[in-house]
Structure 1
């Protein structure tokens, strides 16, 4: 049975409220591909950028167990095994396969997964059965006209959709998926990338909608201007704080996000051990598809 939201606030660094937590996590980069086209996302395989969507390599589910063992030797404060990319965790079956292995070999670790939510309704039962403790869904808008400005298209059931048609499918699936997974006892966190001039006036509506759907906590992430939104400005600290104040009328708000890499290891904001475990794999050819 998944642990409670209250337990997560003490044991999961991305759920700690009011103060920075001292618990650690290991991100396992087993998910190589994605099925949506976020205009601010630039997935990369490298060892120098410190942001989501980046990993030094992609590993196999079987290799993830060795990575966890090595990580626990380096950082005994690790309480969470998470998968957050570098692609979407539900676009392939590798993430859930990895969590099944972890459930057997490391039953005490919290299992945490992030997704864009496109396939969440059809994968909800499998997520619950696998024993995922916490799920993060990135919801950048709940109105198709706004979502279409942030996402160029989706690949869904073998069809490529664009514009508001893609946005309608994505939003419907995200909200339905949140409802199904939360009803199954999994704690839901929602991430929103704050983009001034696009969804900055929409945060209150997102927070209200996802809270009603079943999310327990909300995380507002400042835009990193890149890719198709490279000309946009990152929100100021004042803008981020104002957005958080609007959101917390409806839902708990997480305030300590470090915008971690998909292969981060350790306590967020402190020493990262990722390169000690993953960097050596870069030179290994044909170990896994980067998608």
Structure 2
């Protein structure tokens, strides 16, 4: 992993006192995950939630205000609330950031459906870190995690959708990692679906070029509301299995799509984004 990334990014290395801002510029998604409940509100502290959707220009203004309030911010990230590659908003925003604040790390999160075909854009843009949510590398298992995908103007379901998603994720990871982008993979741990599949995921994404792996416990909601919530012993066991193949990240703060500040310490989102209040702790995906 690049030294600069490890020193400056709180989710990729040793930058524990470094800050980040998530800029919520992506309105729509192209995957129907059975655990995902994207919302615009002021109460839930989890990815997939924001108090507003910004334009790229508004995001640049928010970044300027955030840097004035929290000079420790070293990372400009875009993590939703929809998928970052399902529209051009994230890439437009990063172009503005690259021109105005070239010293900031540029961090993006994606479900990876369009990663294979848009990888060259990210490479040319100079994205520093990329997080891809990979919940299975077996189509039979993946088909239980998602209800469908929207791809090239068509809706796919079942194992056909799962195969397309997995192929695009892994090939996309190969392309961007080969170009020097540091890749982290998130997996939502679903006890009834992918608990015994963690080793396979970790091995496959490491072989594709991912450097870091983050296992996130499901909070039962949406179509998976009847699933059990993983306990600490379950999460720890899954992490130990994954560590046989890849470095595991253990300090995820389950950040909103409009988080601002130093993870786990101080959040300035209510000062940057209007009417931001954090008091309800739920989570869908990373």
The TM-score normalised by the length of structure 1 is 0.93
1:55 maps onto 2:50 in alignment? yes
Q: What is the aligned residue count?
A: 276
Regions of 4+ moved over 4 Å: none
Residue number among 8, 12, 23 corresponding to 2:9 in the alignment: 12
Q: Deviations over 1:222-246 (max 9, x none)?
A: 1011111111111100110111111
Residue number among 12, 15, 20 corresponding to 1:25 in the alignment: 20
- Distance across 2 between alignment mates of 1:137 and 1:148: 18
1:197 maps onto 2:192 in alignment? yes
Q: 8 Å contact 1:211–1:251 — kept in the other structure?
A: yes
Helix, strand or coil at the partner of 2:99: helix
Q: Which residue of 1 aligns with 2:172?
A: 177
Structure 2: gaps of 5 or more residues: 277-286
Residue number among 207, 211, 217 corresponding to 1:212 in the alignment: 207
1:273 maps onto 2:275 in alignment? no
- Distance across 1 between alignment mates of 2:235 and 2:41: 28
Give the Å deviation of 1:5: 2.9
- Distance across 2 between alignment mates of 1:201 and 1:134: 28
The TM-score normalised by the length of structure 2 is 0.94
- Distance across 1 between alignment mates of 2:232 and 2:143: 26
- Distance across 2 between alignment mates of 1:6 and 1:216: 13
Q: Deviations over 1:160-183 (max 9, x none)?
A: 000111000000000000001111
Counterparts in 2 of 1:116-265, with a 5 A limit? 116-265=111-260
Q: 1:169 to 1:178 in 2, by over 3 A?
A: same
Q: 8 Å contact 1:141–1:206 — kept in the other structure?
A: yes
Helix, strand or coil at the partner of 2:75: strand
Greater mean deviation of Cα atoms: 271-280 or 27-36:
271-280
Structure 1: gaps of 5 or more residues: 282-291
Q: Which residue of 2 aligns with 1:286?
A: none
Give the Å deviation of 1:280: 5.4
Q: Which residue of 1 aligns with 2:282?
A: none
Residue number among 20, 36, 39 corresponding to 1:41 in the alignment: 36
Give the Å deviation of 1:276: 1.3
- Distance across 1 between alignment mates of 2:58 and 2:275: 13
Give the Å deviation of 1:16: 2.5
- Distance across 2 between alignment mates of 1:210 and 1:228: 26
